[in-house]
Chains A and B, each alone.
Chain A
Amino acid sequence: MDALRPYAAAFSSRFLLMMQYRAAALAGFFTQCWFGAVHVMVLAAFYLGAPDAAAASPITLSQAVTYTWLAQGLLAVMPWVGDPEIADGVRTGAISYDRLRPVDPYALWYVRAAGWMTARLVPRVALMILAAGIILPLIGQGQWAWQPPASLPAALLFALSETLAIALACSIIMLINIVVVATLNARGVNILMQPLVIVFTGNLLPLALYPDPVRIALFVQPFAGTLDIPNRIYFGNLTGQMAWAGIGLQVFWTVLFVVLGRFWLARVMARLEVQGG
C-alpha cells in the first residue's frame, strides 16, 4: 500500500485546499441556479407548446428538467479546462519539481485533477439538491423539481456510471494538461474545449433532443460519458442492456484516454522545456 500513499496524499491535500473556497462555491451555486432556471423555462415552453412533438420526444419534460438540474449540479465534473495548477507550473517553471519527484507523473496529476474536481463538486451538488430537489417541491413547484432516481437499480447503476464519468473527465483533463505542457500555453486549448464540452456533454441541451439521425453518433462520442449517459441511467431512460452499453462506452473511452495520455506524456516529458526563473 505504501506505493499508493503519495497519490492518496496528493488527492486529499488538493481536495481539502479546494474545500476552503466557500465563496466560490456559493457564487458557482448562484450561477447554476440561474442557468438551470432559464433552461427549465425554455424547455417547458418548447414542450408545452407542441404536445405532439413532446409525446414523441425520446425524453419527457420532467426527465429533461431533472437532466437540467443534474447538469448544473454536476457542472464541476465537466472537463472545461486543464488543471490550473499545471498551467501555473508551466508558466512559472514549477513543473520541473514534478519532474524530479520519484512518482509516476501521470498518476500524480490524475489524482490531483480528481481532488480538484471532486472538491468543487461536493458543495455545489449538495446545494443544488437542496434547492432544486427539496425546496422547489416544498414551495409547490414540484413539477420543476429535481426528481429522485427512477428506481433502486437505476440509482445503483447511476452511482457506478457517475464514478466512471469522473474517471473519464479526469482522463480528458489529463489530455488537456498534456497539450498545455507541450504548447506552454493554457489559453488556446481551454478556449477550444468550452464549445465542445458545453454541446457534446449535453450540458446545453440533452443529447437525446438532437435530431434522430445524429443521436447514435452523439451517444458513442466520448463526452457523452461525462454527463449524458449517467443522467439517462438516473431517470430510467437507459436501462438493461442499453445502460450497460453506456457504461461500457465510459470504460472504453477512459481506458483509451489513459493509455494515450500516458504514452503522450512520456514523450512530452522526455523533451520538456522549462520556462521561468
Chain B
Amino acid sequence: MNALALLGRYFAASMRSQMQYPASAIMLTLGQLGSTAIEIVSIWALFDRFGAVKGWAFGEVMFFYALIGISFSFADFLTRGFDVFGSDFVRTGAFDRLLLRPRSAALQLVGHDFRISRFGRFFQASIILAIATGMLGFVWTPQAVLLALWTIAGGIAFFSALFVLQAVMAFWTVESLEAVNALTYGGVYAGQFPLSLYARWFRTFLIFIVPLACVAYFPVLAILGRSDPLGAPDWFLPLAPAAGFLFLALAFLAWRFGVSKYTSTGS
C-alpha cells in the first residue's frame, strides 16, 4: 500500500471513530465555530470606537483574519499527532511502537487523528471571508482565487511546521510545551492584524524568524491589489507564501535530527 492509500485508511478510521458519537462531533464543531466567531466582535469594537487604523478598514482586517483562520484550521486538522506528540507518544513510550513499523514516523503521526471539530474554525473563517468580500465589494478574479489558494497552502505549511517543531521539542522536554501555543494560537491572533501596526522588532521577527507575515500579510496585500506601505517590492508579495514551505522543510530537518537523538522513556 502506498503512503497516500495508507493515509486514506487512517483518515477513514478516524472519521468512523468520531462518528460513533455524532452528537458530540457536531457539538464540538459548533463549539469551535462559536469560540472563534466571537473573537471578531472585539476587533469590530475597536474599529467602531477608533475608526480605520493606519489606513486599514475593518473589511480588510477581516480578510487577514479569514485567510489565516482557514490556513490554521487545515494545519490543525492534519497535525494533531504532532500536537499531542509529547504527552501521548514520548512520555508514554508509545513512539517506540511507531518506530518499529515499516513506515515513516511522520506519516503515522499525520494519520494518528483527524479531528472533525477543526472544521468549526474553517466554517467560521469562510463566513467571515464572504462578509469581508461583500463589505469591500471585492471581485474574485480567477487570479485572486489562485493567489488565495496559494496563500492558504503556504499558511498550512507554516502552521504545520510550528506543530512539528513543538513535537521536536518534546524529544528533550518530554511533555508537550505550552510555549509553542504563543506561536500557533498567538500567531493566528497576531496575523489577524496588518503588519504595519507592529513595532519594528516584532515585524522583523514575523518576517525573518517565524515567517508568519509571508503567509498572511504579504500575499493578502497582493490579493487586495495594494502595495505594501512598509515598502516591500510588489513582485515579492505573491511569492511570499513559499517561505511557509521552506519553514516546513526546516522543521522536518529538525524532526529528523530529533528522531535520531530519541531515547525511549517507556518502561
Contact = CB atoms under 8 A, between A and B. Distances in A.
The reply to whether chain A is a binding partner of chain B is yes
Interface in B23-46: 24, 27-28, 31-32, 34-39, 41-42, 45-46
B49 A53 contact: yes
Given A41-B199, A188-B24, A194 B35 contact: yes
A198 B182 CA distance: 16
Nearest to A193: B35
A12 to B, nearest CB: 25
A27 B179 contact: yes
B58 to A, nearest CB: 12
A210 B51 contact: no
Interface in B178-216: 178-179, 181-183, 186, 189-190, 193, 197-199, 202
Nearest to A40: B199
- Looking at chain A's contact residues, is the secondary structure mostly helix, strand, loop, or mixed? helix
Interface in B47-91: 48-54
Contacts of B31: 188, 191-192
Nearest to A46: B50
Given A34-B182, A42-B197, A188-B24, A53 B51 contact: yes
B199 A199 contact: no
B178 A195 contact: no
B39 A195 contact: yes
A35 interface: yes
A23 interface: yes
B202 A41 contact: yes
Contacts of B38: 195-196, 198-199
A199 B179 CA distance: 22
A188 B197 contact: no
Question: Of B49, B54, B117, which is in contact with the most chain A CB atoms at under 10 Å from its CB?
Answer: B49
Given A34-B186, A49-B53, A195 B46 contact: no
B228 interface: no
Nearest to A208: B49
Contact of A38 (B173, B177, B189): B189
Interface bracket on B: 35 or more
B96 interface: no
B126 to A, nearest CB: 18
A103 to B, nearest CB: 32
Contacts, number: 102
A236 B56 CA distance: 32
Interface string A3-35: 000000000000000000001101110110111
A45 B27 CA distance: 37
Nearest to B181: A31
Nearest to A205: B42
A245 B186 CA distance: 35
Interface residues of A, number: 37
A124 B190 CA distance: 22
B186 A35 contact: yes
Contact of A54 (B45, B50, B179, B197): B50
A57 interface: yes
A220 B53 CA distance: 30
A28 to B, nearest CB: 6
A107 interface: no
Contacts of A211: 45, 48-49
A54 B53 CA distance: 12
B45 to A, nearest CB: 5
A204 B40 CA distance: 10
Contacts of B36: 195
Given A53-B50, A188-B27, A24 B178 contact: yes
A47 interface: yes
A49 B186 contact: no
Nearest to A202: B42
A27 B177 contact: yes
Contact of A31 (B186, B193, B202): B186
A131 B189 CA distance: 22
Interface string B3-41: 000000000000000000000100110011011111101
B35 A50 contact: no
B186 A195 contact: no
A206 B146 CA distance: 39
Interface string B103-120: 000000000000001000
Contacts of A251: none
A37 interface: yes
A267 interface: no
A46 B46 contact: yes
Nearest to B39: A204
A54 B50 CA distance: 7
A205 B45 contact: yes
Interface string B135-158: 000000000000000000000000
Given A45-B193, A57-B50, A195-B36, 4 more contacts: A35-B182, A41-B202, A192-B35, A209-B49
